[in-house]
A and B are shown apart, each in its own frame.
Chain A
Amino acid sequence: PALMNAFELISTSQGLNLGTLFEK
């Protein structure tokens, strides 16, 4: 993780996964 881009880390948040809105 020390080598990871902070924004890449952030982009894994479940709160940013709007695909979930479309799950039945």
Chain B
Amino acid sequence: MGCVRSRHIKHPPGYEDPVILAAETSFTVSDVEALYELFKKLSCSIIKDGLIHKEEFQLALFRNSNKENLFADRIFDLFDLKRNGVIEFGEFVRSLSIFHPNTPEAEKIAFAFRLYDLRHTGFIEREELKEMVLALLNESDLYLSDDVVETIVDKTFSQADTKGDGKIDPEEWAEFVKRNPSLLRNMTLPYLKDITMGFPSFVMNSEVNDAE
């Protein structure tokens, strides 16, 4: 239903008014409409219900709907704000807004913290960090001995865990990122500033009167 192009217009569950989404995010109304073009494509790539399922997200990221990846799973779970197993349009826009160049750095820092807090304890713990390093090595077909992995994790923890209590809290994380700004590199997608250029067909499907 949500996959049929039509001007009058049965939207899928989770569709939200672009005007409201623009007011609550870093996007303009036109940006949100352009994102809807992308959303329609992603949300109908496998299961044609106008919602992004995990397999569709994996297909878009990896060109492979079966590719398991810890970090893609975390991103999917964070985008799925209602935690109902799918990404709706409103969730898609609100979450992507964090990656907009104009979004305050504090929001990006907070999102990255939640991303790495695998077990939702409110802290990034040493075991979580090691698990993520091992996942990255596995994904990259890289081999490092356990001693080397331990050294990397220990060194990073000694720099980030300034209170020395064996876990990284949000305040320590924010300070660590300020000292290592490259850690936020993939939290900004410059392309989002020009999203209407990527999906010019949004003009044809716009439901918003230019005068609004």
Tell me the A residues contacting B by CB distance below 8 Å.
1-22
Choose among B38, B151, B176 the residue that contacts A22 (Cβ–Cβ < 8 A): B38
Cβ of B185: which chain A residues have Cβ within 8 Å of it?
Answer: 11
Interface of A is mostly: helix
Check if A2 sits within 8 Å of B61, measured CB to CB: no
Contact B99–A1 (Cβ < 8 Å) = no
Q: Is B186 on the interface with A (CB-CB < 8 A)?
A: yes
In the complex with contacts A5-B156, A6-B152, A14-B182 CB distance below 8 A: no
Contact A18 to B156, CB < 8 A, known contacts A6-B129, A9-B136: no
B156, B157, B180, most chain A CB atoms within 10 A: B156
* B60 CB-CB contact with A under 8 Å: yes
How many residue pairs between the two chains, A and B, have CB atoms under 8 Å in the bound complex? 95
The residue from A2, A7, A15 contacting B72, defined by CB atoms under 8 A apart: A15
Which B residues have a C-beta under 8 Å from some C-beta of A? 38, 42, 60-62, 69-75, 96, 99, 115-116, 129, 132-133, 135-136, 139-140, 142, 144, 148, 151-153, 155-157, 159-160, 176, 180, 182-183, 185-186, 189, 191, 195, 198
Which residues from B are CB-within-8-Å of A1? 142, 144, 148, 152
Q: Contact check, A13 vs B69: say whether CB atoms are below 8 A apart.
A: yes
Question: Bound complex: CA of A6 vs CA of B151, how far in Å?
Answer: 10
How many angstroms from the CA of A14 to the CA of B115 in the assembled complex? Answer: 14
**Cβ-defined partner of A2 (8 Å) among B69, B99, B151:** B151
Contact, CB under 8 Å: B152 / A14: no
Output the least CB separation between B159 and chain A (Å). 8
Contact yes or no, A8 B183, CB < 8 A: yes
Beta-carbon contact of A10 and B152 below 8 Å: no
A14 and B75 in contact (CB under 8 A), knowing A9-B152, A22-B198?
A: no
Q: Whole-angstrom distance between the alpha carbons of A9 and B148 in the complex?
A: 13
Question: Does B60 contact A20, Cβ atoms closer than 8 Å?
Answer: yes
